[in-house]
Structure 1
Amino acid sequence: MMMLCKCALFTVWGVVTCLPASAQSLGVRSVNPSGLTLAQSKQVLRVVMKHERYKMASPALSIDGPWLTDGKPVVPGYLHFGVVYGTSTQGHYAVNTSSGDVWDTESCERYTFAALVAIQKHVAAKTGKALASDDDARTQLGCP
């Protein structure tokens, strides 16, 4: 079957999967068992931002963070970021470094779409950590 998108093939648990071109630069092959690096976490957030139709090419768009308390993540296991356009914050996000899970921490909504799920499968294969249940993740993030 012919693919309509350019993609890289990776083998996870003996299954060949296609990582979307938008996420290839994440470097899933270099994800450590300890989880995503700061740069990889920002790249996962960029995949979400692109999905949410942020104007990624704009020089006024930036990612602020990670936000830390006493040099440690605000919530253990998550890196928190702000997406800023000029001087205006557009949203607050948390990326789980063990699973690639991404949440909008203002609306307490989890992102799930094909390109992100593909990344999360690769991250999970490297870390051995699956996504937390919705209830567990909400509790960790302080969501109602």
Structure 2
Amino acid sequence: MAALGGLLTCSLVFGAGFNAKNVKPSGLTVAQAEQVLRVVLKHERYKTYDRRLWIDGPWLTEGMPSIPGYHSFGVVYIVNTQGHYSINIFTGDVWQTESCERYSFPALMAIQERIALKTGKKLASDDDARSDVGCP
């Protein structure tokens, strides 16, 4: 039982960086998507407090998101890219688009539920989401 309590506490701490209160039916702003990404980075044990780690983006093509319906970013440490990430603006679904890894953990799922309540959208199936972000 103590382990479950620790897991819940850990999940709440990871999710504490996101407030869904201001999410609009039109989806996440760039700043909100970056907050969701920071929750994932903390979960993945990145030292997000380190000033040498920064988030590059959002990536745009002709003024539009590089992947329609997603805000995409690069995570850089000093001068080395650590990964490319895309966050679905309607669901908070997070993908590492180079490895085609979809993130799912309790704190993120709680955030995604709160986003879904605001946008009225649900997470896509794995196959549909993979196709959206260009993963095989």
Normalised TM-score (structure 2) = 0.90
Q: Greater helix share, 1 or 2?
A: 2
State yes or no: 1:86 paired with 2:64.
no
Whole-Å Cα distance in 2 between the matches of residues 117 and 25 of structure 1?
14
**Matching residue of 2:33:** 41
Shift of 1:56: 1.4
Gaps of 5+ in 2: none
Whole-Å Cα distance in 1 between the matches of residues 122 and 101 of structure 2?
18
Aligned-residue sequence identity (percent) comes to 59
* Cα offsets for 1:27-73 (capped at 9, x unmatched): 21111111111111000000000011101111100000010000000
Whole-Å Cα distance in 1 between the matches of residues 73 and 23 of structure 2?
20
AA partner of residue 77 (structure 2): Y
Whole-Å Cα distance in 1 between the matches of residues 77 and 16 of structure 2?
25
Q: Greater strand share, 1 or 2?
A: 1
Shift of 1:105: 0.2
RMSD: 1.9
SS at match of 1:41: helix
Q: List 4+ stretches of structure 1 deviating above 6 A.
A: none
Whole-Å Cα distance in 2 between the matches of residues 132 and 37 of structure 1?
20
**Matching residue of 2:97:** 105
Gaps of 5+ in 1: 7-18
**Matching residue of 2:61:** 69
How has the CA–CA distance of structure 1 residues 94 and 56 changed in structure 2, closer, same or farther, with 3 Å as cutoff?
A: same
Normalised TM-score (structure 1) = 0.85
Mapping 1:1-144, distance limit 5 Å:
20-144=12-136
